[in-house]
Structure 1
Amino acid sequence: MGDGRIQLGVDRVLTDPSLLAGKRIGLVTNFTGVTGNLELSSRALLRAGVPIVALFSPEHGLRGTAQAGMSEASGDDEETGLPVVDTYRKSESDLDAAIAEHDLDVLVCDLQDIGARYYTYYATMLTCQRAAARAGVPFVVLDRPNPLGGTVVDGPGIRAGFESFIGPLSIPIRHGLTMGELARVGARLDSGAGIDVPQPTVIEMTGWERAMTWADTGLAWVPPSPNMPTPDTALAFVGTGPLEGTNLSEGRGTTRPFEIFGAPWLTADFADRLNAAGLPGVTFRTAWFTPTFSKHAGEVCCGAQLYVTDASRYPGLRVGIEILAAARESSQFAWLTPSHEEVGDRPPFIDLVWGSIDLRTLIDAGKTSALLEQLGEAATLRERDIELLSYQGKGQW
């Protein structure tokens, strides 16, 4: 339960429903869309008289029962009785038809992101923002905190040709932006690319400051997907997310996904090799585990468990680079393209995760120092020189 330190965008609307104008409103949301007191936003807004007529759900579904790369079917929501439109992997024409079918005059988004570029909720928001623009319908974001804070930036941008649903914007992997700010950035980049997307209306939070981590917000954590159980997972995911593009288990099917990782062919000295890298703010222990599903399900794996000892110094993507470089020394290591991604002439999945071929090719060549140089440049990345209306005045990201 929230302690009142922060008033979420949805809570501001509940205090003043006039902030949401419109007679027929569509709400892009799921189980993460809750008030500071953990009531579903959809139900709370309806009770306050906000005329929501349809719900639009992302990956994992409205209730969160679906695993990665999956969603729940469209239908009716048991909580509100409203029709549910499954947006995941739907075409532009499908979204356009849904907006027209429900005769919407406003589309509102209330989803909790985790702060990493390759998490898909903000991609859903952007596709819905574009659909609203095509329909001439205003788009509104009920803002929420970035669980990793808004001051640290980590990782490269995306090179042309490597855009995807896990990387629709050329922003750093740890981007430091809220959903409202991501919507503003998306609209500016779209408009710069000749796509007519007006700036969204953002119902900003009160009480949130950019340096806040999730613990600082006083808000309860709602796991935003089945394999994101804690805020610690979200922080670890910045570094270990790229393991999804390999034949290493990233810990799906364990109680600590993205913190435990390994494979049947790794040996007990793997954690020692990672500790020898001397990374600040993190340590590793040898871990044996048997995933109940996903990669290596039912097989005994050896690897490591990651422990963040100092979140302010956690080196994020450098952790992932060191893990991949150490695993690459085995002849059994391989880069993968998961079955839920499009194949054919698309780049390998790992290239979409990183935003270029660099992670894969430089690790294959044993040139991790070149990758570390890219990370050193990330903190001052000004690839687009995007200006934001931040929570602390006008600034640059």
Structure 2
Amino acid sequence: MKFVKNLSKFKGCKAGILTNQSAFGYKNRYHFDVYREFVDLKKIFLPEHGLFAELQDQVSGSELSYIFGEADIINLYGDTEESLVPSPEILRDLDIVILDIRDVGSRYYTFLTTAYYILEAISKLNKISAPICIIVDSPNPIGEKVEGSPLQEKFESFVGVRSVVHRHGLTPAGLLNYYNKQFNLNVEIAVIPVGVYHPEKFNSRMWVPPSPNIPTQNTCLVYPGQCLLEGTNLSEGRGTTKPFETFGAPFLKGKAKEELDKRLAKHQTAQITLRNLRFLPTFHKHKNVICEGYQLMVEKPKKFHSLYFTLYLLKNISELFPNEFEFLKGVYEFRSDRPAIELLAGDSFLLGYLDGKCKEEELVEYLLHAEKAWTLRTKEFQY
């Protein structure tokens, strides 16, 4: 791996890019447009949600079409699980593959999993015909703070690469270089550092939603925990203006809700404020049904632990609403062999906690140990 200042040394190279609207900022332009001034753009690889984040989660992009000269559009989120992984043959005639796409700091977020699958495909090519991978780095919107435990291999899926913790604390280049070394891919990688095409720091007034339900930078703060709600019958706020910050369900009412309020009022009280509310999702879970719930308002981001909050929330809701609350079954991100909560939690110990098999202090100690181990393990990938 080496650092390069820009793409000028690759001028005229046959290139493919993985990108979407989140790669915006250089001279107030989309980067996929800028790159055409440097390289011979042959292929544009589309992640989940499409080039302009037009599509909701788990919606195939196979019907999307765009025109970029003679460049081919290759959708990497289609109708089958096989569509997620590019064929090495698609990459063989390229000199470089540019990976320029923003992450939100959590392992569930699928853009860097798609980038990882591209690295894997490149690794299967003969070194002579394998393209160089250029990673245009960008800041981690929630910084270097780490949360969670390594995903166990049996739970690996599109929403979780093995060995990675829930909130990884790395930039895109950091995580992708970790994959390259950890899994012995041996792909030739060059990194364009933060600040060349992306601004040095995120300006919340210039935030470009990388996908429909990450509308603000604040959403990224709660997402490492709140994404677990996707595996339950609680609304994670899709269909509202504050997804993942707003959450609840129609059945959260009565004395059990009062007890839940009391328990949550004692949890991370110095870091957050929970605002009781009612909301009406316009789509997704509980569409057009009034939900009782909360808005999660983070007051001290550096101390707030989103994953712990959501694990605590789910455990207590399952205790207080045993007949109404449930973990969802069925297809989730092309997988039907495991419930979504298993793919998202990714750890037998955490799943055991949700089942009441360990105490609060045991969970806290377990997470603290796992987070320290990940920080040490990935120190060389902090850019």
What is the letter of the counterpart of residue 57 of structure 2?
A: A
Q: TM-score, normalised by structure 1?
A: 0.84
Alpha-carbon shift at residue 94 of structure 1 (Å): 4.7
CA RMSD after TM alignment: 2.6
User: Which residue does 2:43 correspond to in 1?
Assistant: 54
User: Which residue does 1:255 correspond to in 2?
Assistant: 241
SS in 2 for 1:235: helix
Unaligned runs of 5+ in 2: none
Equivalent in 328, 350, 360 of residue 359 of structure 1: 350
Equivalent in 274, 285, 307 of residue 317 of structure 1: 307
CA distance change for structure 1 residues 43 and 119 in 2, over 3 Å: closer, same or farther?
same
User: Which residue does 2:180 correspond to in 1?
Assistant: 187
Alpha-carbon shift at residue 277 of structure 1 (Å): 2.4
**Contact 1:280–1:315 (CA under 8 A) maintained in structure 2:** no
What is the letter of the counterpart of residue 360 of structure 1?
A: L
Equivalent in 262, 272, 277 of residue 282 of structure 1: 272
**Contact 1:156–1:378 (CA under 8 A) maintained in structure 2:** yes
User: Which residue does 1:173 correspond to in 2?
Assistant: 166
Matched, 1:34 2:13: no
Provide the C-alpha distance between the structure 2 equivalents of 1:52 and 1:74, rounded to a whole number of angstroms: 22
User: Which residue does 1:66 correspond to in 2?
Assistant: 55
**Contact 2:148–2:167 (CA under 8 A) maintained in structure 1:** yes
**Contact 1:42–1:80 (CA under 8 A) maintained in structure 2:** no
**Contact 1:287–1:302 (CA under 8 A) maintained in structure 2:** yes
Provide the C-alpha distance between the structure 2 equivalents of 1:214 and 1:272, rounded to a whole number of angstroms: 36
Task: Return 35-44 or 161-170, whichever deviates more.
Answer: 35-44
Provide the C-alpha distance between the structure 2 equivalents of 1:199 and 1:95, rounded to a whole number of angstroms: 18
Alpha-carbon shift at residue 358 of structure 1 (Å): 2.7
What is the letter of the counterpart of residue 140 of structure 2?
A: N
User: Which residue does 2:153 correspond to in 1?
Assistant: 160
Task: Work out the number of aligned pairs and report it.
Answer: 365
Task: Return 218-227 or 279-288, whichever deviates more.
Answer: 218-227
CA distance change for structure 1 residues 75 and 239 in 2, over 3 Å: closer, same or farther?
closer
CA distance change for structure 1 residues 279 and 21 in 2, over 3 Å: closer, same or farther?
farther
Amino-acid identity (%): 31
Provide the C-alpha distance between the structure 2 equivalents of 1:277 and 1:133, rounded to a whole number of angstroms: 46
CA distance change for structure 1 residues 339 and 297 in 2, over 3 Å: closer, same or farther?
farther
**Contact 2:86–2:121 (CA under 8 A) maintained in structure 1:** no
SS in 2 for 1:177: coil
User: Which residue does 1:349 correspond to in 2?
Assistant: 340
Alpha-carbon shift at residue 278 of structure 1 (Å): 4.1
What is the letter of the counterpart of residue 116 of structure 2?
A: L
What is the letter of the counterpart of residue 331 of structure 2?
A: S
Provide the C-alpha distance between the structure 2 equivalents of 1:85 and 1:43, rounded to a whole number of angstroms: 17
SS in 1 for 2:87: helix
User: Which residue does 1:43 correspond to in 2?
Assistant: 33
User: Which residue does 1:236 correspond to in 2?
Assistant: 222
User: Which residue does 1:223 correspond to in 2?
Assistant: 209
**Contact 1:75–1:85 (CA under 8 A) maintained in structure 2:** no
Provide the C-alpha distance between the structure 1 equivalents of 2:264 and 2:30, rounded to a whole number of angstroms: 42
**Contact 2:85–2:118 (CA under 8 A) maintained in structure 1:** no
What is the letter of the counterpart of residue 217 of structure 2?
A: P
Provide the C-alpha distance between the structure 2 equivalents of 1:389 and 1:285, rounded to a whole number of angstroms: 38
Unaligned runs of 5+ in 1: 1-8, 392-397
Provide the C-alpha distance between the structure 1 equivalents of 2:191 and 2:172, rounded to a whole number of angstroms: 9
Matched, 1:143 2:129: no
User: Which residue does 1:394 correspond to in 2?
Assistant: none
Equivalent in 106, 128, 146 of residue 116 of structure 1: 106
Alpha-carbon shift at residue 36 of structure 1 (Å): 3.7
